[in-house]
Amino acid sequence: MNSFSNLVQSLGLMRLVALGLVAAVLLGFFAYIGSRYGSEPKALLFSDVGVEDASKMIGTLDAMKVPYELRGDGSMIYVPRSQVLRLRMSLAEKGLPAGGTVGYEIFDNADALGTTSFLQNINHLRALEGELARTIRSIEGIDAARVHLVLPERELFSRDRREPTASIVLKVSRNNLATQQVKAIQYLVSSAVDGLAPSRVSIVDERGTLLASGMGDDSQSLMASSVEERRSSYENRLRTHVENIVQRVVGADKVRVEVTAQMDYNRITQTSDTFDPASQVARSTQTVEDISTSADGMGNDGVTVGNNLPNANQAGADNASASQQSATRTEETVNYEISRTTKTEVLEPGRVTRLSVAVLVDGSYTADAEGNTTYAPRSEGELQKIEALVKSAMGFDADRGDKVEIVNLQFAPSPTFDAGTEAPADEGFMNLTGADVMRIVEMAVIAILAIIAMLFVFRPLLARLGSAPARMSAALALPGTAGAAAFATGGGEDGSASAGALPAPELSEDMMIDIAQVAGKVKQSSVRKIGELVTGHPDESISILRSWLHESA
């Protein structure tokens, strides 16, 4: 106990404070490590949430007394891993996260008694827009959506009515959306709003790219689809059909199909008129009949007494010899109606002009009793049957110039597993999940840093603080010095005790060993320095030795 108190007195106040600070830092560091990894690890509850949703969710977690942690400027919320699923269901029951939109829950706490019709209409519009935005966000590839509806009211005493319109802004998680997805959103919104046509819905992404114009023309929706996209979609669909039917015969993962389609994207309009004379019909008939009579006589046309007598003409007619002529003419006009067919054909773009299909088929494998696998190519008859199936599935047309090629080759084995075997499921390292592995790695890194800090920071600092009293004791204990004698005897140089001298402390065995080690190191250092002086200055060293020998003689 006396040696400990003597050691404390020899350290001094400043060194004791420094040692206390080092001990406090060490205790705080290990306490942080223990609290950090002694508690349950946290997992992500929700990410990319808005400020409004985050505030509501935090309030709910506080009410449920659930510890949480905010990261990423408050957009990421972490909770204990064992409570993630339960908290997600609890928050979903309360409509969180709502994505910054308000749905039909706006009417839950509304006071209908003091609400005007204008406010009711506005709330209905807000609720409809919010519900549509939530539905659109549930589609794969869409992170956020904002919907604006314009529902004009019909004016009094007016027959005309303006059509409703809608505009949608999407935030997509990939480069672009497929054409079918854009059309699906248009039809989804139009079906939910009374009187809204799909062609009146305009869609824009967050980069300002027009996906659907909404100008009232259905053909404008084709703006979002390019020629390559349509051709690629057709080839992929045909490839899937062919692979599905061939895999039923040769087995899964034993066939590869490639389809190349040539398409005509010219829009052609043809109009033709056809007349059929065999199917004529009388439309009208006109008949004209003409009968004419004429007489030719030789009577005396001279002036005589007889001509002037009464009934002179009748008497002359009876006596004269004359000739009569009659003519009859019949004319008939018939108008016929010949059947006429007018045909107008509009050939839309995207017609297939030629198809080329390449099918690679693997052979069959048989295993013997020893487990060795033998490859056998497929027979010619089997390949012909596969070719017939492919032609039927693709709609083969020889006049169009279609081509089908069936090749039977052995597939290259997988670099890890043999052909025909399945890869084992990835169960992780020692049945640990990714989060567990990352946690172990983090703990290992922190442990290594703690060891490095103890070896290269705290240990030299403690050694430096503790070496000062040892050096003092060593200096006092060196033989041949007045301080050592005074320290040992408790007096002056003559051995008598002085009035102001401190009493000699009692040195323990360990302290004496440390003092001896320090003294040995000091002597070793002195010898090393003398050797360096002799090596660096040989002439001066020899002269000094000669002078010492001369004096001793």
Worst-scoring range by mean pLDDT, 91-95, 376-380, 416-420, 536-540? 416-420
- Specify the higher pLDDT residue, 545 or 379: 379
pLDDT in tens, 298-314: 555 555 665 666 665 55
Determine the average pLDDT of the residues in 477-498.
41
pLDDT in tens, 145-161: 889 999 888 777 777 77
pLDDT in tens, 358-397: 999 998 888 877 878 888 899 999 999 999 999 999 989 9
Judged on CB neighbours under 10 Å (0-12, 13-18, 19+), 506 is exposed
The pLDDT, as a whole number, for residue 417 is 42
The pLDDT, as a whole number, for residue 492 is 42
The pLDDT, as a whole number, for residue 304 is 63
Q: Is the pLDDT of residue 356 over 90?
A: yes
Distances (CA, A) of 287 to 37, 204, 291, 373: 117, 74, 14, 98
Distances (CA, A) of 56 to 49, 69, 101, 106, 234: 11, 15, 13, 16, 47
Side-chain-side CA neighbours of residue 530 (13 Å) = 10
Helix then strand then coil, % of the chain, to nearest 5: 45, 25, 30
The pLDDT, as a whole number, for residue 403 is 93
- Specify the higher pLDDT residue, 215 or 412: 412
Residues 6+ apart with CB under 8 A from 552: none
Determine the average pLDDT of the residues in 483-490.
40
Instruction: Write the single-letter amino acid at 349.
Output: P
Cα of first residue to Cα of last residue in the chain, in angstroms, is 55
Tell me the torsion sign for CA atoms 82, 84, 88, 90: positive
pLDDT in tens, 326-344: 788 888 888 888 888 888 8
Q: Using CA atoms, how far apart are residues 221 and 230, in angstroms rounded to an integer? A: 13
**Element spanning 339, H or E:** strand 322-347
**Contact between 377 and 383 (Cβ < 8 Å):** no
The pLDDT, as a whole number, for residue 117 is 78
pLDDT in tens, 255-267: 999 999 988 878 7
Q: Using CA atoms, how far apart are residues 358 and 400, in angstroms rounded to an integer? A: 17
Q: Is the pLDDT of residue 242 over 70?
A: yes
Q: Is the pLDDT of residue 532 over 70?
A: yes
pLDDT in tens, 115-153: 777 788 888 888 888 889 888 988 888 888 889 999 888
The pLDDT, as a whole number, for residue 451 is 78
